[in-house]
Amino acid sequence: MPIRLGCIADDFTGATDLANNLVRAGMRAVQTIGVPGTPLDTEADAVVVALKSRTLPAAEAIDQSLAALAWLQAQGAEQIYFKYCSTFDSTAAGNIGPVAEALMEALGTDFTIATPAFPDNGRTVFKGYLFVGDVLLNESGMRDHPLTPMRDANLVRVLQAQSRKKVGLIDHSVVAQGADAVTARIAALRAQGVGLAVVDAVSNADLLRLGPALKGMPLVTAGSGVAIGLPANFGIAPSNTASVLPPPRGRQAVVSGSCSVATNRQVANFIASGRPARAIDPLRLADHGDAAVAEVLAWAGPLLADGPVLVYSTAEAGAIQAVQSRLGVAEAGALVEHHLAAIARGLVADCGVRQLVVAGGETSGACVQALEVTQLRIGPQIDPGVPWCHAQSPATRGDGLHLTLKSGNFGTDDFFTKSFQLLT
Ligand SMILES: Nc1ncnc2c1ncn2[C@@H]1O[C@H](COP(=O)(O)OP(=O)(O)O)[C@@H](O)[C@H]1O
Ligand SMILES: O=C(O)[C@@H](O)C(=O)COP(=O)(O)O
C-alpha cells in the first residue's frame, strides 16, 4: 500500500523525534537513514527520510532534499513534511528557507506553513516569536550553538532572511478560532502574495486545531509538533501498539558530541552518579586522532562489564570557542564528529555494546553512518521527542542494536542513566 505521509528530516535526531510523534499519533512509521536505493520493503503509513543536511551548503541540502522527495513520491506519499529543529536551527544562508522553497517548486505549490512549535518540549510560538521554555530563543542556550547560533527569536524575520518568497504570520488569535479561521487566513495571505507563513502555537490543543487546516496541503514544514495533528487527516487515531522492540542485550554506552545546555547537565549528572566517563580533547584529535580513539576503546573495554560508560566532547561555550578559533567552526565540528563516530563504531564492533545512546543531531548523523545503519524501528519514548530505536548494523555481527539518538536540548538531567533502566 502507498505511504500517506512522506517526511524529510534535516538531521537524524530530528527524524526520530518526528517518527516518535507519528507513532504515538497512531501511524506505522519507518525511519530510513539517507535516501534508500530501493522501494520500501515494509508496510508503513509514514516514512521519515533522515538527512544530515542542516548545516550543509544550501545547494547540497536542496539536492539531497529533492532526492528524498523523488523517492517518497515514488512510494506514493500523499503529503510531504519537511522537518527541521524546534529551535529553528539555521543561518542566514539557510537551510530552512532554501529547502522549503525548492520543495515547493518541485511540488508545484505556492504556499506552505512553517512552525517549530513543540509544546511538549517547551517550544512555543507566539506572535511569530519562538520561546524555549520561559525565554526567547535568543536568550536560550541556542545563542551559543557551535554550528547554528540563534540570535533572533522573530521567526518571520529569520525565515525572510533566508527566503525569496514573502513570509507572513498566522497568529494565535487566528489559530485559537480553529481550522476554518486558519484556512481563511491562508487564503488571505496567498492573495497578498505570501508564500510561507509562520504559525503560532502555544499548546498541543493549538496544534490539533491546526491539523485539519493542513489537510491536502502538498507540503508542510515544521518541527515535530505539527505531526500530532496530521494522522487524523488520514483517518488514523492514536495507538500505543507500535512501540514493541526486541529484548535488550549486550553492553551499554553513551557517546555525546552535543554541547547544548541540556546535554551539559546530563553529562554532569552521569559523572555525579559515579559511572565512568571520559572526555575527548578536540585539539588533540587533529594530530593524534587514531591514538585517541584506540585509547578510549582500551579504557572502555573492561569497564563496560559493570554498566554504562560515557565518552564525551560536550563542553561549555567558552571551551568550544577556544577550539573553534584554533581549528575553524566547521573543521572542529567535523573533526569531533568523525572521531566520536569511530568510537561509537568501535564500542559496538569491538566492545560488545548493543545499547547505545548518542547525544547530538550532527553527532548522531556521523555515528549512525559509521555504524552503517540504514533503517530504524521506533520503540518506546524515553522523554518527549526521544524514543528507543532498534537497528541492524554490520558492526553487531548479527545481533540487533538498541539505539537512541538524543536531540541536544531534549531529555531530563538523568537521561544517560534512566534510558538504560527503561529498556530493561
Ligand atoms: N568540544 C567541542 N569543541 C568544538 N566543537 C564541538 C565540541 N564538541 C562537539 N563539537 C561539535 O559541535 C557540534 C554539536 O552539534 P550536534 O551534535 O548537532 O549537537 P546538538 O544536538 O546539541 O546541536 C558537532 O558538530 C560536534 O562535533
Ligand atoms: O526539533 C527538535 O528540537 C529536534 O528534533 C532536533 O531536530 C534537534 O536537533 P539537535 O539539537 O541538533 O539534536
Residue-wise pLDDT for 22-47, tens only, equals 999 999 999 999 999 999 888 899 99
State phi, psi for 136 to the nearest 5 degrees.
-65, 155
Residues 6+ apart with CB under 8 A from 421: none
pLDDT for 242 beyond 90? no
Residue 285 CA to ligand 1 center (angstroms) comes to 14
3-state secondary structure of 113: strand
pLDDT for 299 beyond 70? yes
Q: In the structure, what pLDDT confidence band is assigned to residue 125 with cuts at 50, 70 and 90?
A: very high
- Number of the ligand 2 atom closest to the C-alpha atom of 84: 7
pTM of full prediction above 0.90: yes
Residue located nearest, by CA, to atom 27 of ligand 1:
333
Where are the domain boundaries for CATH 3.40.980.20 in the chain? 251-423
Residue located nearest, by CA, to atom 8 of ligand 2:
407
Contact 365 CB / ligand 1 (< 6 Å): no
Specify burial of residue 160 (Cβ count, 10 A radius: 0-12, 13-18, 19+).
middle
pLDDT for 390 beyond 70? yes
- Number of the ligand 2 atom closest to the C-alpha atom of 408: 11
Q: What is the structure's pLDDT at 1?
A: 75
Q: In the structure, what pLDDT confidence band is assigned to residue 165 with cuts at 50, 70 and 90?
A: very high
CATH superfamily of 251-423: Four-carbon acid sugar kinase, nucleotide binding domain (3.40.980.20)
Average pLDDT over residues 338-351: 98
Residue located nearest, by CA, to atom 5 of ligand 1:
333
Residue 12 CA to ligand 2 center (angstroms) comes to 8
Residue 86 CA to ligand 2 center (angstroms) comes to 6
Average pLDDT over residues 356-367: 96
Contact 35 CB / ligand 1 (< 6 Å): no
Q: What is the structure's pLDDT at 147?
A: 87
To test the pocket of ligand 1, the residue of 17, 278, 313 to mutate (highest count of ligand atoms within 8 Å of its CB) is 313
- Number of the ligand 1 atom closest to the C-alpha atom of 363: 17
Q: What is the structure's pLDDT at 207?
A: 98
Q: What is the structure's pLDDT at 42?
A: 86
3-state secondary structure of 346: helix
Q: What is the structure's pLDDT at 225?
A: 98
Q: In the structure, what pLDDT confidence band is assigned to residue 50 with cuts at 50, 70 and 90?
A: very high
Contact 260 CB / ligand 1 (< 6 Å): yes
Dist. CA 359–CA 259, nearest whole Å: 9
Q: Grid coordinates in use for 244?
A: 514493541
Dist. CA 279–CA 50, nearest whole Å: 28
Residue 299 CA to ligand 2 center (angstroms) comes to 30
ipTM: 0.98
Residue 146 CA to ligand 1 center (angstroms) comes to 6
Q: What is the structure's pLDDT at 2?
A: 87
> With b meaning 16 or more CB within 10 Å and e meaning fewer, what string describes 382-417?
bbbbbbbbbbbbebbeeebbbbbbbbbbbbebebbb
Q: In the structure, what pLDDT confidence band is assigned to residue 241 with cuts at 50, 70 and 90?
A: low
Average pLDDT over residues 380-384: 94
How crowded is residue 424: how many other Cβ atoms within 10 Å of its Cβ?
A: 8
Residue 357's beta-bridge partner residues?
Answer: 254, 404
Task: Give the ligand with the smallest distance to the CA of 317.
Answer: 1
- Mean pLDDT rounded to a whole number for the chain: 96
Contact 317 CB / ligand 1 (< 6 Å): no
- Number of the ligand 1 atom closest to the C-alpha atom of 406: 21
Instruction: Please give the full DSSP string across 257-293, using - where no structure is assigned.
Output: ---SHHHHHHHHHHHHTT--EEE--HHHHHHHHHHHH
Average pLDDT over residues 222-248: 90
Over pLDDT 70: what percentage of the chain?
99
Angle between helices 282-303 and 317-327 (to 10 degrees): 120
Q: What is the structure's pLDDT at 175?
A: 98
Q: What is the structure's pLDDT at 18?
A: 98
Average pLDDT over residues 410-414: 97
pLDDT for 389 beyond 70? yes
Residue 256 CA to ligand 1 center (angstroms) comes to 9
Q: Grid coordinates in use for 38?
A: 530501493
Query: Can the peptide bond before residue 95 be classed as cis, meaning omega within 30 degrees of 0?
Result: yes
Q: For strands 29-33 and 309-312, give the pairing.
A: unpaired
Q: What is the structure's pLDDT at 280?
A: 96
Over pLDDT 90: what percentage of the chain?
92
Q: For strands 400-406 and 112-115, give the pairing.
A: unpaired
Per CATH, domain 5-234 is 3.90.550.10: no
3-state secondary structure of 321: helix
Residues with CB under 6 A from ligand 2: 11, 13-14, 17, 85-87, 223-224, 260, 360-361, 385, 407-409
Residue 329 CA to ligand 1 center (angstroms) comes to 10
Residues 6+ apart with CB under 8 A from 187: none
Grid-cell match 548523523, residue found? 365
